Structures are given as structure tokens and as C-alpha cells.
Amino acid sequence: MAFFELRQYRTKPGQRDNWVKYMEETVIPYQISKGMVVIGSFIGEEEDDLYVWIRRFESEAQRERLYAAVYEDERWLNEISPRVGELLDREKIVVTRLVPTSRSAHQ
């Protein structure tokens, strides 16, 4: 059964614009190149440190495979992840798994 990850991040003070640029130019294209399906990318309208994105998975097995492909890759470990830590407050990351209802536009 397909499911989604709603990922909520808080950027370090004054870093949201830099984070969005990094996500759109580096992180999202990299993850898509590894097979991730990114449904959306958002910023908080009233919270200047909020960034949210959504990914879709066909199954838990696919999620595990894609996590390994992305997060165990040398480029992620040596280049991308260190920059993520400079821009985000990793302690405030919230990941929520969602399953669509029958009326959801996203399945």
C-alpha cells in the first residue's frame, strides 16, 4: 500500500532562503535521481523557519531500498549531509507517515 512522508523541518535562524535554494537545487534533484518521488515542497506562510516536503512510497520495501540508496551513498554522506546540518536544526525534524484515504487526490 502506498504511503507518504510528511517531513517538517526548522531552519537555523536566517537560513530558510538558503535552505530552500539548497533543497531545490541539490537535495531534491539528488533524491529524485536515486528514485525518490517528491510530491511537494513548502514554506510556512507565518513561520519564517518552517519548511515542509512530502515524499511518496509504493511500499515499506521500496522506502527501505530508497533510504539506503540515498542516505548510505558517499555523495550524501560526504557532501550533502554536512551542508544540511549547517542549515537545519536536526533536533526539530518531525516525520509523519500518512496513508491516503479513498477520497484523497493523491494515492
Give this prediction's pTM.
0.92
Cell of 35: 528514485
- Give the N- to C-terminal CA distance of the chain in Å, as an integer: 9
The mean pLDDT of 42-61, rounded to a whole number, is 97
Q: Is residue 54 within 8 Å of 40, Cβ to Cβ?
A: yes
Q: What is the pLDDT of residues 5-48, one digit of tens each?
A: 999 999 999 999 999 999 999 999 999 999 999 999 999 999 99
* Domain 3-97 listed as CATH 3.30.70.100: yes
Residue with cell 510556512: 44
The pLDDT tens digits for 76-105 are 999 999 999 999 999 999 999 999 999 888
The domain limits of the chain are 3-97
> What does residue 68 show for φ and ψ, rounded to 5 degrees?
-60, -45
Dihedral-angle region of residue 24 (phi above 0 means left; psi in -120 to 50 means alpha; beta otherwise) = alpha
